[in-house]
Amino acid sequence: MKKLAIAVGLSLASASMLTSAQDTPPYENWVGGFINYYNADSEKPEPVGGLDDGRGFGGELGFRFDPAWAVRFELGRLLIDKDDNNPSALADDGTQIGVDAMYFLKDDVAYLFGGLREQSIRDSYRMASLGVGKHWKTNSNWRVITELATYYDFGQGYNEYSAKLGLAYVFGQSSAPSTRPDTDGDGVYDAIDRCPNSAPGTEIDATGCSIDLDGDGVPNNQDQCPTTPAGVKVDESGCEIVLKDSDGDGVYDDKDRCANTPTSDKVDAVGCSILEEEEVSVSLDILFPNNSSVISNPDSDKIEAFVAFMKRYPNTEAVIEGHTSTVGEAAYNQFLSEKRAQSVRSLLINEYGIDSSRLSAVGYGESRLKFTENTAEAHRLNRRIEVVVSTMIEKKVQR
């Protein structure tokens, strides 16, 4: 029984892996020869048993009387070895004749068969046969035969199996008219085709209809909205996606990477504010009394505006430039200009908290006069410090 189970299992496993196709194969008759591997039951023959594996050869003649059914006659010779572990065993040979009914699956992907065998190896045995096989087409007239079979003896209950390899010559009718018309050529016969006018190349289901009738990319068996208009964006259930623009920037939420953009901002394709670079600057100009480095108004609006700029843009640095008029000695004026620059630097550091590393001071004496006239007013305007700071910032573009 173990050998029968193995052989039947092999047959069923082979059949289960085969898929049916739509086209009906031609009618064929054939004659062929084969060799085979044969596994005899080890309890055979009675009473001592001892037969083992063997080999065989033979011929067959088949008649296929419609696209699905055929009958086959087989005659073979078996050469069976003995079991070396059984001292009483003897090798033997004999003949086997048989007849099988054969059922061909669609498109000839395989056939199933069952029938009877008359075997003569020392004694006579009558057996049932069951198996699966395939005719492999090499050209219009020749086929390679492959087959697995199992046998059950009616008398003693022996279980045996074989594997066949053969070559067959096909003769008879080479083609057959379709008994099941398929008007639109979609592979589904008219009798079960619910969409008999399918366009060529359309991917269809088992009923002959497009697997996606409304063309939204969701198969019919999953489409909860099967009549969605063309071009409408749908979700995984095949229903229309209602697009939203929560922040009103013109970019739908499913593509919006900046979901809370102010309505005043101009945005890019993904809904984020568009930025452009802009230069901003601030200047500071403080006048000093004659021969003095004292800042007369340390909390003036100009100083506070300068400090606010420096704090808003913490990556900026400033050079404080000190100057004098031409009154007095040039060397002294150089010293005085440096002292004025340092006085402003100290004020910004100590009183306004600007980091000292961001501020430097330099004196130019009377070398960079703003006004060259030798008048009291010109001298007053030249007694000064000057600072100019600028930086580049990114600014949102408005709609």
Last residue of a domain, one of 114, 146, 171: 171
* 164 and 283 together in one domain: no
Q: Is residue 13 a part of any domain in this protein?
A: yes
How many distinct structural domains can be found in the chain?
A: 2
Dihedral sign, Cα of residue 171, residue 177, residue 180, residue 184: positive
Residue 353 belongs to domain spanning: 278-396
Dihedral sign, Cα of residue 339, residue 341, residue 343, residue 349: negative
* Segment (H or E) for 305: helix 301-312
Q: Is residue 295 a part of any domain in this protein?
A: yes
Q: What percent of the chain has pLDDT over 90?
A: 49
Q: Is residue 195 a part of any domain in this protein?
A: no
Last residue of a domain, one of 145, 171, 197: 171
Q: Are 396 and 277 in contact (CB under 8 A)?
A: no
pTM above 0.85, yes or no: no
Which of 62-71, 272-281, 336-345 is least confident? 272-281
Q: Is residue 317 a part of any domain in this protein?
A: yes
* 7 and 143 together in one domain: yes
Q: Which residues contact 275 (CB under 8 A, 6 or more apart)?
A: 394, 395, 396, 397
Q: Which long-range contacts (CB under 8 A, 24 or more apart) does 114-121 make?
A: 115/72, 117/151, 119/78, 119/94, 119/95, 120/94, 120/95, 120/96, 121/40, 121/44, 121/45, 121/51, 121/78, 121/80, 121/92, 121/93, 121/94
pLDDT at 27: 66
Q: Is residue 128 a part of any domain in this protein?
A: yes
**Burial class of residue 59, CB neighbours in 10 A (0-12, 13-18, 19+):** middle
Average pLDDT of span 106-124: 92
pLDDT, tens digit (0-9, with 9 covering 90-100), for 306-333? 999 999 989 999 999 999 999 999 999 9
Q: Is residue 322 a part of any domain in this protein?
A: yes
Give the mean pLDDT of the chain: 84
* 11 and 160 together in one domain: yes
Average pLDDT of span 395-399: 81
The CATH number assigned to the domain holding 75 equals 2.40.160.20
Average pLDDT of span 187-208: 75
pLDDT, tens digit (0-9, with 9 covering 90-100), for 346-362? 999 999 999 999 999 99
- Reported as half-sphere exposure (CB side, CA atoms, 13 A), residue 183 has a value of 9
* 13 and 147 together in one domain: yes
The CATH number assigned to the domain holding 296 equals 3.30.1330.60
What is the DSSP-derived secondary structure letter of residue 41? -
**Residue 179's pLDDT band (cuts 50, 70, 90):** low
Q: Is residue 213 a part of any domain in this protein?
A: no
Last residue of a domain, one of 154, 171, 188: 171
Q: Supply φ then ψ for residue 307, to 5 degrees.
A: -60, -40
Q: Is residue 210 a part of any domain in this protein?
A: no
